[in-house]
Chains A and B, each alone.
Chain A
């Protein structure tokens, strides 16, 4: 029967505590390493989650078609033919302008104006706070009516009810018929800082004579790829290849996830390097410790310590340093995650998995970099160690 783990641990902690400053500085390398792994990976995962969420928020059964060849444009026939295709539920033109918006003295320069039809709100899942939607009659009659995004409404009207008021878009008067509920912002811009007008009205006012971009809602997410290829066939036979670009949210999602995944790995990797540097710091200090304590090792062997006792004593010392450093690093990381989350309003947090991996990795670093010095210590011959001054 040889000495117990409990006693080895006690011994290690005692010697660690006997040189607090040195232990702390050594630990700092690990603390910083683990801390940055936690924060970096959390930020990477947070970014991934928020990108995913904002894309999924737009609905995964949406397709965006933009004609890239400037010589061709969608005709009204195209629109109705596209909407008849199997798998297409509904579609809306999606024409973007930028214009100053005014109400009395209040002025919002550079507001995004989107020309849409009656389906647009439904396709994008927007809801009304008050008022009515744009309807087919508005489209047909080119009515000068406008729906306000929540931010535009707020800055032009404040707490007042804008319904029925008249605002000017690039100098032309429009009647406000509705206000949108506040929306989650997506990757593609500020959904609250925009106004919607009937596309026919917008096209006339801004002298746009053709439609280059439409949004299509498929019947369901599962068949969206099939629907996309139907649309592609239709466009290809009409206009030829390389004349359009179809923007599929599923594809976008997986591409972006890949990018953010690589980014997370990269960030974690860089942080991991600092953890490695911390490990080298441990090795360095353990080597110093071993040579300082050569005589102690000799004494311990002389009174009956085995090679394995000495090995474990030093290994446990380095692992306790790295393990405690790891725990402190994790706690700091979690704290900073909280601070970043509240300060920048992005939800980042370390998953249990990341915490566990970071902790195990820091322990591993302690064992790995402690191995060489500990082995060196354990191999000392008792006489030689005792002769050491």
Chain B
């Protein structure tokens, strides 16, 4: 479902050009639990942003469900981010003034879903991460682990084909980190495709496919 062919990414900062991805080719199949590991600065987030259609490659091709991404307009990409992709960030990125319910509901608002159905689906998503009773708490009234679970609910609510998680446990203690991983794992067991970036080898061990990135190059691939 996801195919990258010799993708590069070069940042241009004034005079300096910095090539962060140097020809990445990967193939993520439906139902995969795909992990990306590698040292800090190796280009993992850059890769993830491209996968999540938050950014575009400098060269190379990205096929999502058979369609090359550069053929899409800005609005098409917004639609893809809204419908096909669920993004989970290291820093949660919840909107601080909205409560858990409103944060989770947001993708459905942008999709133009009527409020009655929005309410149902939001409640289901919150329930699936075990936060049904915290629905009307603001992010700052929730623990880090709970906030990340709200973020997972937000990524899930639109029923996307793939969940992207950029170091989802990076800001969490071990216990809540494990809770988050358990959720991701159980989602994968139910058939959801998941791509996760991690520093944690234990996490990587739980995945089905594993790649290691170093200086923008894939130095190791493991399919278990």
Contact B49 A383 (CB under 8 A): yes
Contacts of B107 in A (CB 8 A): 303-304
Segment from B36-44, B109-117, B123-131 that makes contact with A: B109-117
Contact B109 A3 (CB under 8 A): yes
B80: nearest residue on chain A (CB-CB)?
A304
Of B54, B111, B158, which one neighbours A383 at CB under 8 angstroms? B54
Of A1, A3, A303, A308, which one neighbours B81 at CB under 8 angstroms? A303
A295: nearest residue on chain B (CB-CB)?
B93
> Is chain A's binding surface mostly helix, strand, loop or mixed?
helix
Segment from B71-79, B168-176, B180-188, B193-201 that makes contact with A: B71-79
Contacts of A7 in B (CB 8 A): 109
Q: Does A302 sit at the interface, judged by CB under 8 A?
A: yes
Assembly CA distance A307 to B76 (angstroms): 11
Known: A299-B95, A386-B54. Contact between A307 and B75, CB under 8 A?
yes
Contact B55 A305 (CB under 8 A): no
Number of interface residues, chain A, beta carbon within 8 A? 26
Contacts of B97 in A (CB 8 A): 14-15, 18
Contacts of B135 in A (CB 8 A): none
Assembly CA distance A4 to B114 (angstroms): 9
Quick one: CB contact mask for A273-308 with B, threshold 8 Å, 1 for yes? 000000000000000000000011011111111111
Assembly CA distance A303 to B87 (angstroms): 7
B92: nearest residue on chain A (CB-CB)?
A299
Of A14, A306, A386, which one neighbours B78 at CB under 8 angstroms? A306
Assembly CA distance A382 to B89 (angstroms): 13
Of B78, B83, B154, B158, which one neighbours A301 at CB under 8 angstroms? B78
Contact A2 B49 (CB under 8 A): no
Q: Counting chain B CB atoms within 10 Å of each CB, which of A296, A308, A382 scores highest?
A: A382
Q: Counting chain B CB atoms within 10 Å of each CB, which of A14, A304, A309, A381 scores highest?
A: A304
Q: Does B28 sit at the interface, judged by CB under 8 A?
A: no
Q: Does B64 sit at the interface, judged by CB under 8 A?
A: no
Assembly CA distance A300 to B54 (angstroms): 11
Contact B112 A1 (CB under 8 A): yes
Contact A382 B111 (CB under 8 A): no
Q: Does B52 sit at the interface, judged by CB under 8 A?
A: yes
Contacts of A2 in B (CB 8 A): 110-112
Assembly CA distance A334 to B23 (angstroms): 69
Q: Does B82 sit at the interface, judged by CB under 8 A?
A: yes
Contact B87 A300 (CB under 8 A): no
Q: Does B106 sit at the interface, judged by CB under 8 A?
A: yes
Contact A300 B106 (CB under 8 A): yes
Contact B111 A1 (CB under 8 A): yes
Contacts of A14 in B (CB 8 A): 97-98
Contact A304 B82 (CB under 8 A): yes
Besides A18-B97, A305-B110, 20 new A-B residue pairs in contact (Cβ under 8 A), listed by A number: A1-B112, A2-B111, A2-B112, A299-B93, A299-B95, A300-B110, A302-B81, A303-B87, A303-B107, A304-B78, A304-B81, A304-B82, A304-B110, A305-B78, A308-B75, A309-B110, A382-B54, A383-B49, A383-B55, A386-B89
Q: Which residues of A contact B (CB under 8 A)?
A: 1-4, 7, 14-15, 18, 295-296, 298-309, 381-383, 386
Q: List 6 A-B contacts (CB under 8 A).
A: A2-B110, A3-B111, A295-B93, A302-B52, A305-B78, A382-B81
Q: Which residues of B contact A (CB under 8 A)?
A: 49, 52, 54-55, 74-75, 78-79, 81-83, 87, 89, 93-95, 97-98, 106-107, 109-112, 154, 158
The 5 closest A-B pairs by CB, nearest first: A304-B82, A1-B112, A382-B54, A304-B110, A306-B78
